[in-house]
Amino acid sequence: MKTQTFQSGFEQSVGLRSIIKEIVFISDPEKIFLLSATYDYLVTENIYLNDTVQELRGNQYDLLILYNNEEKKSLTKHKLLLYGLTKHRRNLQLQIMHIKEFNDDLTSGKEYASHILSNAMIWYDKGIVPLAFPAQKN
């Protein structure tokens, strides 16, 4: 698997929906998978309420971004654009991959690709290139 990982330095508490919108606006990907999301809650009690109150303190997202570009230069350009997005966010980690390579890994039966397809959540789908069917194990 040839993916590029970016992890950034400063935390910025931004919701996943606005992060996805920004990624789509900046680099026009084919698909975005949410690989993991971690939330850190601070639970407080209020003597005037019967229920505890949960306040969201922080979050961490790991995304797989699939592109459908024929040129190698274009994938590098997307990596640079997304690096600019992540350098101010400690809560965001991005994996970048070409969709053809991901589909090839699915059809050849690579376990990581099948695991992502069956367990990860698709947060964005441009809808131009469909995902392949995973190879069946005998």
Structural domain spans, the chain:
4-124
Q: What is the DSSP letter of 81?
A: H
Give the tokens for residue 18: 């606005």
Q: What is the pTM of this model?
A: 0.73
Question: What is the per-residue pLDDT across 4-52, written as a single tens digit (0 to 9) for each?
Answer: 544 444 344 567 888 899 889 888 899 999 999 888 777 777 677 666 6
Question: What is the per-residue pLDDT across 60-113, written as a single tens digit (0 to 9) for each?
Answer: 889 999 998 765 556 677 777 777 776 666 678 888 899 999 999 999 999 999
Backbone angles phi, psi at 105, to 5 degrees: -65, -35
Distance CA 135, CA 118 (A): 13
Provide the β-strand partners of residue 38.
60
Backbone angles phi, psi at 49, to 5 degrees: -120, 150
Q: Which amino acid is at 123?
A: W
Q: Which amino acid is at 102?
A: F
